[in-house]
Amino acid sequence: ANQTGHPGVVPVYDFGQLPDGTPWLVMPLLVGESLAHRLRQAPAGSHMALGLAGLWVIGDIASALGAAHAHGIIHRDLKPDNIMLVADPDLPGGERVKVLDFGIAKMAESLGALPHATDSNLVTGTPAYMSPEQCRGAKQVTDRADVYSLGVILYQMVAGRPPFVADAVGELLIMQVTEPVPPLDSFAPGTERTLVSLIHSMLAKDAVARPGMDAVIAALQQVER
């Protein structure tokens, strides 16, 4: 995470182990709230407005992840709980996005080539926000997995819920891999068409069909205009 040098990525100042082997990290103390908390506090029926007015949040997340991807770092566990909104009086909106928890981040030799192989097909991440390829096994993860997770978050901000909801983890994993994404219009009719198109492209089942993070940022700017 420190390699990115991006203000939206939380740095690690130091790390080590206690005498008993317990690992520790020193990171900055952030005063604010998570995006998950912000979404839970949103009044009923306001999610569509939150999604449109909150595009700066998604844009800032995309910027931070784009910097990580440029260094071959894939987050792999992007979700509202891992995004903090902290006060920053120097910014127009008075807040800054901070992306947390690169704990299962994966280094890729090249984002245009096959990623490093892992020792197993261990499924890592949070099922509601995991890409189909993550649900099938960690060996196939590239930067497009983060694009998918960001698409889920944006879908949730507009629709008031993630695209897939289930009681059992296994069922949710199957839905991510096999079921088509429910049309955003079914939960948030009247949403700007350019935004709908962007979200559905980010949620493509085939990782190759998803836009890169730079293209996501450009599309968000077009929606804002």
Task: Indicate which residues carry an active-site annotation.
Answer: 77
User: What torsion do the CA atoms of 93, 95, 101, 105 make, to the nearest 10 degrees?
Assistant: 30
48: tokens are: 């569509």
User: Taking each helix axis from N to C terminus, what angle separates 55-70 and 213-224, rounded to the nearest 10 degrees?
Assistant: 160
Report the SS3 class of residue 96: strand
* Residue at 18: amino acid letter: L
Residue bearing tokens 């289930």: 166
Task: Check: CB of residue 109 under 8 Å from CB of residue 116.
Answer: yes
Task: Check: CB of residue 79 under 8 Å from CB of residue 35.
Answer: no
Rounded CA-CA distance 9/2 in Å is: 8
